[in-house]
Amino acid sequence: MNKLLKLKNLSVGYNREIVLKNLNFFIEKKKITVILGKSGSGKSTILKTIIGLIPSITGEIVFFDKIIDYYSEKELSKFYNKIGVLFQNGALLNSMNLFDNIALPMRMRFEYEEQEIKERVSTKLDQVGLLKFAEKYPAELSGGMKKRGALARAMILEPELILCDEPSAGLDPVTASELDDLMKKMRDELGATLIVVTHELRSINTIADNALVLNEGKAEFFGKYDDMKNSNNEFINKFLRS
| Neighbour order of strands in the sheet with 66-67 | 17-28, 3-14, 58-63, 66-67
Q: How far apart are CA 123 and CA 117, in angstroms?
A: 10
Q: How far apart are CA 146 and CA 131, in angstroms?
A: 13
Q: In the stretch 1-20, what mask flags binding to ligand ADP with x, by CB under 6 A?
A: -------------x----x-
Q: Using CB distances below 5 to 8 A depending on partner kind, what does residue 199 bind out of ligand ADP, Mg ion, none?
A: none
Answer yes or no: are the C-beta atoms of 16 and 37 closer than 8 Å: no
Using CB under 6 A as the binding rule, whether residue 40 contacts ligand ADP is answered as yes
Using CB under 6 A as the binding rule, whether residue 41 contacts ligand ADP is answered as yes
Number of residues that bind Mg ion (CB under 5 A): 1
Using CB under 5 A as the binding rule, whether residue 41 contacts Mg ion is answered as no
Using CB under 5 A as the binding rule, whether residue 44 contacts Mg ion is answered as yes
Using CB under 6 A as the binding rule, whether residue 167 contacts ligand ADP is answered as no
Label residues 183-221 b or e (16+ Cβ within 10 Å = b).
beebbeeeebbbbbbbbbeebbeebbbbbbbbbebebbb
Answer yes or no: are the C-beta atoms of 180 and 168 closer than 8 Å: yes
| DSSP letters spanning 167-188 | TTTT--HHHHHHHHHHHHHHHH
Stretches 14-22, 43-51, 199-207, 229-237: which one binds Mg ion (CB under 5 A)? Answer: 43-51
* Of 33, 37, 79, 195, the one binding ligand ADP by CB under 6 A: 37
Stretches 39-47, 93-101, 110-118, 142-150: which one binds Mg ion (CB under 5 A)? Answer: 39-47
Using CB under 6 A as the binding rule, whether residue 44 contacts ligand ADP is answered as yes
Site residues for Mg ion per CB under 5 A:
44
Site residues for ligand ADP per CB under 6 A:
14, 19, 37, 39-45
